[in-house]
Chains A and B, each alone.
Chain A
Amino acid sequence: MIELNGISKRFGQHPVLRSFSMMVGRGEIVGLLGPNGSGKTTSIRLINGVIQPDEGSITVAGYDPIHDGEAIRRLSGILTESAGFYTGMTGLENLRFYAELYGVTDRSRPLELLAEFGLTDAKDKKVGTYSTGMKKRLGLAKALLHRPEILFLDEPTNGLDPEGIRMVLDYILKLNKRDRTTMILCSHLLQQLEAVCHRYVFIQDGQVIEQGTHAELEAKYAREAVLRVRTADGETEYILPGRQAVPGFLRELTQQTDVYGASLVNHDLESLYFKIREVARHE
């Protein structure tokens, strides 16, 4: 669905992306991970034809963003970090404006989305009075106005309360399951990404340093399993040869003492993220 090959992009003298290559299949949810300024947002801008690469090629659903940017943007919905609303207009007016720009003919669509994201009561209030969370939910509604095939979500849960986060993550999964919407998510909240992404692309200094599914990354970067066990004596960490050794070890341990809880501490996305960055630094 989306393919970037050897992309380089500079802003003035500053290189933002270098030989950047990645692929996203139809219906996949891919998490773009990297520190601030690593090139995540720039890659989204390039894919949508908002800016042009200095080198390399991009195809999105068979289209080239340089020549067919409008066709790509018609397929894509985007939530940028600053949602880009007109603060002097109401939530409904903003959605109606963008609905016209996206050629949405269904007049009830903005109202339907406002209801879906719990903003019906605030629809006639100016966006300037919205909280960060409300703006984020309105941004998601805007991104979905034209029922896009591809969604780009930059920090989709930033500023949301726990209920809002749950709602957004559930919606992402529901949308992907129902419509097979392809999604690229950028977030620093790795635990949340872990709940929805099929695959991850790790970026550092404008380069892809690793990509793969959780299982693939685990096999490569977390061969040992660090198991944290909670017993009556407190918490203890055990290093095992791999996750396959965990059930046997726990069976044995429960025969010796009461086990109240156990978790793998080096297999979550956050641990993998730091491990991958550390390996990349040494290379």
Chain B
Amino acid sequence: MNKQAMWAIAKKDMAAIRTNVQVWLPMIIVPLLLGVFLPSLFTGLLAFAGIGGSDLQELITWKDRLPLGALGPVLDAMPTLNHQIAFLFTNYMLAPFFVLIPLMTASVISADSFAGEKERGTLETLLFTPVDLRSLFAGKLLASFIPSVGMTLGTFALCTISVNAFGWRLFGRIFFPQWNWLPMMLLVIPTIAIAAILVNVFISAKVATFQAAYQLGALMVLPFILLFVGQISGALMLGTVSLLIIAAVLAVVDIVLLQLLMKKLNRSSLFESQVR
């Protein structure tokens, strides 16, 4: 592995994102909206306005349907339904948003990884350099991984500050995040981001344009994302062990995808994929 070349490619791609406001602005707005604004608004409403009596029955039924497990007694010990809902929403229901953020960001960047080079007419020059394909792919992978996971962690940090600030009136202490967010943010998010990046990089290497790569990538990754996103809150409720199992399974998926990618792609096929 040529580490110097790998980092040069990753830095070049990340600089291209940084210098293009049309690329990074939507990438920041959506995470801020989903990961900071919405949870802060919801917590703020619960803390300052409370929930009306007419909604209570429906919310109680909804809460009863959740696989609360050990969480049940924790919620029961809370003084009001507003406390319970604020705690449940921020600590558990927010999880899908934080899975979506790296996936959306990574998909855009990785769809551009090779297709963008083809569209700009720079892929051939890259292929003429003495950089091995492994390093080239690793550079492209890093260029998608670092911004997407970095942005997710940054959004999570802002969310933590904001939600606790808005919820301080209710709890009078830091109530978000619970410990199960640690394996979620440090293991599950990176491994699922890598899986999405690998699929998108592979598609990007095979097709000729960014548009084709992005659409095909969304088509192939979206069903799995939706399935996963739907289950992640439940996994958080089930606790740390379930998250560690998910991360381990995703790591295996990543390794298999990486092996497949390296096996299926070579310089020649990458070059010939430029032909539209």
Contact = CB atoms under 8 A, between A and B. Distances in A.
A71 B129 CA distance: 10
Interface in A65-101: 69-71, 73-74, 76, 78, 80, 82-89, 97-98, 100-101
A102 B130 contact: yes
B140 to A, nearest CB: 13
Given A84-B121, A84-B122, A97-B12, A51 B271 contact: yes
A88 B19 contact: yes
Contact of B130 (A73, A82, A88, A89): A73
A97 B8 contact: yes
Secondary structure dominating the interface of A: loop
Contacts, number: 73
Interface residues of A, number: 29
A5 B191 CA distance: 48
A103 B121 contact: no
B130 A74 contact: yes
9 tightest CB-CB pairs across the interface, nearest first? A84-B125, A100-B8, A73-B130, A74-B130, A101-B129, A70-B130, A84-B122, A51-B268, A52-B268
13 contacts: A11-B272, A45-B271, A51-B267, A51-B271, A51-B272, A73-B129, A73-B130, A82-B121, A85-B125, A89-B15, A98-B125, A101-B126, A102-B130
B127 interface: yes
A100 B4 contact: yes
B251 interface: no
Contact of B128 (A80, A89, A100): A80
Given A11-B275, A69-B267, A88-B16, A98 B129 contact: yes
Interface string A38-66: 00000001001111100000000000000
B264 to A, nearest CB: 15
A50 B19 contact: no
Interface of B: 2, 4-5, 7-9, 12, 15-16, 19-20, 120-132, 267-268, 271-272, 275
Interface of A: 11, 45, 48-52, 69-71, 73-74, 76, 78, 80, 82-89, 97-98, 100-103
A102 B5 CA distance: 8
Nearest to B132: A70
A82 B7 CA distance: 25
Contacts of B120: 86-87
Given A50-B267, A76-B128, A100-B7, 15 more contacts: A48-B128, A49-B267, A51-B271, A69-B267, A70-B131, A78-B125, A84-B121, A84-B126, A85-B122, A86-B120, A88-B19, A89-B12, A98-B129, A101-B131, A103-B130
B130 A101 contact: yes
Contacts of A73: 128-130
Nearest to B2: A103
Contacts of A103: 2, 4-5, 130
B142 to A, nearest CB: 14
Contacts of B130: 70-71, 73-74, 101-103
Contacts of B124: 50, 80, 82, 84
A88 B13 CA distance: 11
Most buried by B among A71, A84, A85, A98: A84
Given A51-B271, A86-B12, A88-B16, A101 B5 contact: yes
B5 A100 contact: yes
Most buried by A among B16, B126, B128, B271: B128
B267 A80 contact: no
